[in-house]
Structure 1
Amino acid sequence: MKQYSAAMVAHSFWFNEFSQYLDLREQGNADADIRYLAVEGNYFQQQTTSRSLRMVQTLKRRVNILDEDYFDLFPSLDLTNQKLMNLSAILQLDSLFDDFLYEVYRNELILGDAKLYSYEIEAFFNQKQVESSKVASWTEQTIRRLAGTFKTFLREAGLLEEQDDYDQVKRPLLDTRLEILLHTKGQTRQLAAFLGR
């Protein structure tokens, strides 16, 4: 059974910081060095030390779920595909968000409706509450916050565009090299979602 978590409500998309983290790694800094820069030197310009620490721990997990093949490709990708690489790392770390992309976003592309309404997001969480006692134990506020976080992340990745009473679902222009890399790494669900297959 999948392990779902609501921890994502405390995170942000942090794309610029993800890029900076990769730059620091490229310059030869170890994770411990980057943590020191973040906490002691406020490298990522966070308002509090605890926020710096939480962010750098999250970024470390995102970066470390990837490997050298991703790191080598990242600088040569356009902004859209760099954001998709950040999103890919997030999806690999959060199975509920991965399910949301695959079951909700992908279906919008397949069906061609391309309009994501709040009731469709509610239906997803209702289904997960039936499937998982963990999700069923969450408060309505937690689920509302998670739904908002999911939408925010997909908007920042360029996959959703906010309209009046719905989000326009946008199909990404996936770089062939990133597509091949995701396929090689076994990220078939992500690929299916990104490509609407």
Structure 2
Amino acid sequence: MAEELEYKSTIKSRPFLFRETKKAAELINKGFKEFEIKEKAKKDNIFQVNTETRRSEIASIVLQRLKAIDDFLIEKIVNGDIETSKQIVIYSIMKTDRLFFEFMYEVFREKILLRDLTLQDKDFNLYFNRKKEQSERVASWDDYTFYKLKQVYIRILFEAGFIKGPKKDREIVKPILEEEVVQHLKEIGDIKYLNALMGEI
């Protein structure tokens, strides 16, 4: 559960990686083990990046995210429609990054609930300031870290189709989840994550 994780800022070098996550999910679906996928990333360059270091890094990131979700959802990433696949990748990021999950729950969800469907720079600033007050760890980060976090959050939400227009007043697009996915998340007890995605109480 994201609530049990420490706050970290590593997401600033970990974008959405949708295509790469889907590729790794396909291999898991075919029965490949974690070490085999890492090997394929290094040797066969399945993620199509230049350096061996970055190949290994991407493999580690996407496999960590996929390990946080179950087989049903991995299957949905592979065979679901593109909106469903992207929603589940967002869910996998929430499951592995507490700060991003709390942003989705406390800011994105609240905005939908209040029908205030623009995501502005001040929303990020207020959120990060609140977290600085709540956590010594977050308070110890420099301004550049928060600048990068904001950039990455915007990019992730934009690429996932959760916001339109990555500039100043970004329009929030309320995700519509497949009923099967909704029911599954309820059954496994991840209602907070479901609410964060759908903007519900």
Q: TM-score, normalised by structure 2?
A: 0.93
- Taking only aligned residues, the RMSD between alpha carbons, in angstroms, comes to 1.4
Post-superposition Cα deviations, 1:7-31, rounded to whole Å, max 9, x if no partner, equal 1111111111111111111222111
Q: What is the CA-CA distance between 1:76 and the residue it aligns to? A: 3.9
**Structure 1: tracts of 5 or more residues without a match:** none
Which of 91, 98, 120 is matched with 2:101 structurally?
98
SS state of the match for residue 171, structure 2?
strand
SS state of the match for residue 106, structure 2?
helix
Q: What is the CA-CA distance between 1:75 and the residue it aligns to? A: 3.7
Instruction: Give the distance between the partners of 2:29 and 2:192, measured in 1 at CA.
Output: 29
- 1:39 and 2:35 aligned: no
- 1:62 and 2:73 aligned: no
Q: What is the CA-CA distance between 1:162 and the residue it aligns to? A: 1.5
Q: What is the CA-CA distance between 1:2 and the residue it aligns to? A: 5.6
Q: Which residue does the alignment assign to 2:135?
A: 132
Instruction: Give the distance between the partners of 1:72 and 1:194, measured in 2 at CA.
Output: 19
Instruction: Give the distance between the partners of 1:132 and 1:105, measured in 2 at CA.
Output: 21
Amino acid at match of 1:119: K
Q: What is the CA-CA distance between 1:195 and the residue it aligns to? A: 2.1
Amino acid at match of 1:74: I
**Structure 2: tracts of 5 or more residues without a match:** none
- 1:165 and 2:137 aligned: no
Contact 1:162–1:168 (CA under 8 A) maintained in structure 2 = yes
Q: TM-score, normalised by structure 1?
A: 0.95
- 1:73 and 2:76 aligned: yes
Q: Structure 2 vs 1, CA of residues 163 and 147 (structure 1 numbering), >3 Å: closer, same or farther?
A: closer
SS state of the match for residue 141, structure 1?
helix
Amino acid at match of 1:61: Q
Q: Which residue does the alignment assign to 1:121?
A: 124
Instruction: Give the distance between the partners of 2:59 and 2:53, measured in 1 at CA.
Output: 10
Amino acid at match of 1:133: E
Amino acid at match of 1:53: S
Instruction: Give the distance between the partners of 2:5 and 2:134, measured in 1 at CA.
Output: 10
Post-superposition Cα deviations, 1:61-96, rounded to whole Å, max 9, x if no partner, equal 111111222233334421001101111111000010
Q: Which residue does the alignment assign to 2:159?
A: 156
